[in-house]
Structure 1
Amino acid sequence: MLLRDLDQIWRLIIGLGCIPAVVALYFRLTIPETPRFTMDIENNVAQAAKDVDSYLNAGLYTVEPEAVAACANAREASKRDFFAYFSQWKNLKVLIGTAYSWFVLDIAFYGLSLNSSTILQAIHFGSPSRDLTSAAAIIYQNIHNVCVGNLVLSLAGFVPGYWVCFCVIDSWGRKPIQLMGFAVLTVLFVVMGSAYPKLTETSAGQSVFVALYCLTNFFQNFGPNTTTFIIPGEAFPTRYRSTAHGISAACGKLGAVLAQLAFNWLKDIGGENNWIGHILQIFGAFMITGVASTLLIPETKQKTLELLSNEDQEEFMRTGTFCGHILTHSLYP
């Protein structure tokens, strides 16, 4: 009976998770192309005007039919241009910074989040009551306690961390938040790892460990877990923005895979879950390297994408050649 209920719950969770994905898919399929891509890459000024108008309400932008525009001649994406662009240290260091920062963040983030139930059980947080004798009751209470523990970690850490970051990211800046996050996470992981044997001995110690765990989740989201996917979407020119973001994200997922493999391999050295404290210390070592990689990244707060591209946009324009029509801003009379 218990196993059947668990199977139904699992299917229900997966099914309900599809609903927001379907809604997001609809909006993704109907959203207009970014005007920067339409104008800079496709050189389609008229379509760019329509796209801008779609974003900013009807009538704000119009195409002036009598005015001749200079022809935009932005470089086209190609392997040759890609390597030429990233062969310059000023551009390559940004890609290294975004990719490595995402890599080390996901080592710790997924190393914790995918193994939170293991860690909670290892410190005996919410362990089943010893008075239970039925195997089904023990299994149920164990799963129930793990779910409650994960809810505590999320509601006390992940959720408020995201909201705080949302409120201050445009005033404080992406880079300072990421630097602060990596620095605080370094301290938290070292403390949790070093004090792990003592904190797991008593119920009070377990509560302290869970509190530190919640702080870790908080500063992951109020820190690099938010900024590592924002900065790569702002710090590269239009023709390589998606590629550079994809490279950075792929490095992050590589870190997640390696973290999971290493966690399962290392945690039982010297006994069951005996090495978890040392794994947390290793996470701390990776976090300090994230501070170094963040120094390679520019601050993108309140800067245009053209400025952040590290390219002279004026050289993309050839005057005297008809390309389209002037895009006229008509927001104000």
Structure 2
Amino acid sequence: MGHPKSVQAFIEEIPSWDDGDHLAGPPLSSMQWLVWALATAGKFFEGMIVFMQGVGLPLISEEFALTDIDKGLITAATLAGILFGALFLGGLADRLGRKPVFIGEMVLLLVALIVAALAPSKEVLIGSLFVTGLALGADYPTAHLVISESIPSAIRGRLVLGAFSFQAVGAVLGTAIAAVILGAKPDLDAWRLFYLVPIIPVAAVIWGRLFLPESSHWLVTRGLTAKAEKQLRKLLNRQHLQLKSVQVESESGRPHRRGSWDQLFIGKYLRGTILASLPWFLQDLSTYGIGIFTPVIIGLAFGKASHDHNVASIIHADLIGARGTALIDVGFLVGIAVAIVLADRWGRIPLQVIGFIGCALGLFLAALGGGGDESTDHLVLIVAGFLVFQFMTNFGPNATTYLLAGEVFPTHIRGLGAGFAAASGKVGAVLTAFFFPMLLKAWGTERLLMALVITSLLGAVVTWLYRIETKGLDMETL
């Protein structure tokens, strides 16, 4: 059986051949790959649902005769749900375990999507979208923890960001599916299909997550060493291993029974809380505002020649917006792909700082286009600016804020810390989603985008001032 080791030591263990030669790195078992694959689902569904909702907003608005405030509420409902889900449901993973929350959030999502698709009124739709957000918000910290507590440190950045990249895949696929649906079914109620599309995939994910092991890291911190050994054998596909008993202690020397909110704001954890939360807030101000309303902005820009207000013209402009967004979201995918390659080479902090500065540049270009006339040159500036923004935000802060949030806290408060950071980001997303339609109307595109340039530059400054580089550190030393 060998000597007792820690959970992470077994995960990091590099096997050798009979002649004594070692492999280049610790191999991943089929169960570790399954954990990763099923953890990608939450981000995929978030990207798909939120971005399809952006395409569907003009149709929903027409069907329910929405005011500007109603539009803000419908758009903000999902994001508000994500905020509360990350803040409160994500923290349950520190109390109940990773697996129960990992399964429960998908069940909640399934129910909410069905209600949204059948919503008879704007009030029911808003409520169901809020519950949808609760489920997606719970997945923010939980999916990160499930992955990062199951894999070797040397590839943690790549695999966590690889899972996160499925938000981009969901966004691109969601806008593409929305465009196909609008083209095949140019009816006002086509938006209802947007919420029906994910239902079968969500059910499949629920079934798959039932077979995953519980986090051995979490079990050890609860004093459940025997259960941790059993779950670790399942994860690594090994018959024999023995874990060291670990007593997690606070700075006062007393054992930690459970994490608490106050621990995030005192002592050595405060710096990590600031780094994980404030840049995420600043990043989401622009990422969600631009991402959600890109179809609307492009639809208006490319559809200005028509001033008719009827179902046909609304669907036509919406279809143009959806196709334009699908093109721009290519920058989304390329950016996250580059981040996956560089996260474990350059580190998290350089990517985040450079990414924030690049976001500011892209928004500045779009602002120049938005402040001009309707000529082709100005439309090119808008699209080019959005492409640069989508690339740089996913090369940097949209990816790295998520990654850092699950790395700068110890195991016993990792769910709380990552949940608080995600919730902080969603505060920015909710504020942007609610006020963006009104500000876009009152300020115009140029002034609004210039305000987001400033918030992006501020994100770079805060990241540098409170930097904590986590590249290569194992989960037991964070």
Q: What TM-score range do you get, normalising by the shorter chain?
A: 0.7 to 0.9
Contact 1:164 1:222 in 2 (8 A): yes
2:278 matched to which residue of 1? Answer: 100
Secondary structure of the corresponding residue to residue 206 of structure 2: helix
Secondary structure of the corresponding residue to residue 198 of structure 2: helix
Distance 1:133 1:254 in 2: 36
Q: CA deviation at 1:76?
A: 1.8
Q: 2:194 aligns with which of 13, 17, 26?
A: 13
2:227 matched to which residue of 1? Answer: 47
Q: CA deviation at 1:12?
A: 2.8
1:312 matched to which residue of 2? Answer: none
| Structure 1 residue 144 corresponds to structure 2 residue 319 | yes
Q: 2:358 aligns with which of 184, 200, 203?
A: 184
Map Cα deviations across residues 134-162 of structure 1 (whole Å, 9 max, x no partner): 9554334222211211111112x112122
Look up the equivalent residue of 1:168 and give its one-letter code: L
Secondary structure of the corresponding residue to residue 476 of structure 2: helix
Structure 2 residues not aligned, in runs of 5+:
1-181, 250-254
Q: How many residues get paired?
A: 290
Map Cα deviations across residues 158-216 of structure 1 (whole Å, 9 max, x no partner): 12122222222222222211111111112222333245323x43113212320221111
| Structure 1 residue 280 corresponds to structure 2 residue 432 | no
Distance 1:191 1:291 in 2: 18
Contact 2:335 2:390 in 1 (8 A): yes
1:303 matched to which residue of 2? Answer: 473
Q: CA deviation at 1:43?
A: 1.1
Q: Could you say which structure has the greater relative contact order, defined with CA pairs below 8 angstroms and 6 or more residues apart?
A: 1
Contact 2:276 2:404 in 1 (8 A): yes
Q: Which is worse superposed, 228-237 or 14-23?
A: 14-23
2:266 matched to which residue of 1? Answer: 87
Distance 1:245 1:182 in 2: 21
Contact 2:279 2:401 in 1 (8 A): yes
Map Cα deviations across residues 67-111 of structure 1 (whole Å, 9 max, x no partner): xx65624432457x65356311x3202101211111111110111
1:321 matched to which residue of 2? Answer: none
1:327 matched to which residue of 2? Answer: none
Change (3 A) 1:244 1:222: same
Contact 1:177 1:222 in 2 (8 A): yes
Structure 1 residues not aligned, in runs of 5+:
309-333
Q: Which has the larger radius of gyration?
A: 1
Using the aligned pairs only, state the percent identity: 27
Look up the equivalent residue of 1:303 and give its one-letter code: L
Change (3 A) 1:228 1:288: same
Q: Which is worse superposed, 228-237 or 256-265?
A: 256-265
Distance 1:264 1:58 in 2: 55
Q: CA deviation at 1:249?
A: 0.9
Contact 1:98 1:297 in 2 (8 A): no
Change (3 A) 1:191 1:141: closer
Secondary structure of the corresponding residue to residue 267 of structure 1: helix
Contact 1:192 1:212 in 2 (8 A): yes
Map Cα deviations across residues 1-22 of structure 1 (whole Å, 9 max, x no partner): x997535633333212123322
Change (3 A) 1:281 1:129: closer
1:243 matched to which residue of 2? Answer: 416
Distance 1:144 1:303 in 2: 46
Distance 1:34 1:133 in 2: 57
Q: 1:160 aligns with which of 334, 347, 354?
A: 334
Contact 1:128 1:141 in 2 (8 A): no
Q: Hey, which of these two has a bigger chunk of strand by percent?
A: 1
Q: CA deviation at 1:29?
A: 3.4
- RMSD across aligned positions (CA): 2.7
Q: CA deviation at 1:55?
A: 1.5
Change (3 A) 1:278 1:44: same
Distance 1:211 1:23 in 2: 38
TM-score, normalising length from structure 1? 0.78
Map Cα deviations across residues 3-55 of structure 1 (whole Å, 9 max, x no partner): 9753563333321212332233233333211111111x211221111121111
Distance 1:71 1:192 in 2: 54
Secondary structure of the corresponding residue to residue 72 of structure 1: coil
Change (3 A) 1:71 1:150: closer
Aligned pairs for 1:254-293 within 5 A: 254-269=427-442, 275-293=444-462
Look up the equivalent residue of 2:191 and give its one-letter code: W
Look up the equivalent residue of 1:86 and give its one-letter code: F
TM-score, normalising length from structure 2? 0.56
Q: 2:402 aligns with which of 229, 244, 259?
A: 229
Q: Hey, which of these two has a bigger chunk of helix by percent?
A: 2
1:57 matched to which residue of 2? Answer: 237
2:390 matched to which residue of 1? Answer: 217
Map Cα deviations across residues 218-269 of structure 1 (whole Å, 9 max, x no partner): 1111111111111111110111000011111111111011112232222222
Distance 1:94 1:213 in 2: 31
2:33 matched to which residue of 1? Answer: none
Distance 1:218 1:203 in 2: 22
Change (3 A) 1:133 1:242: closer
Distance 2:277 2:470 in 1: 16
1:326 matched to which residue of 2? Answer: none
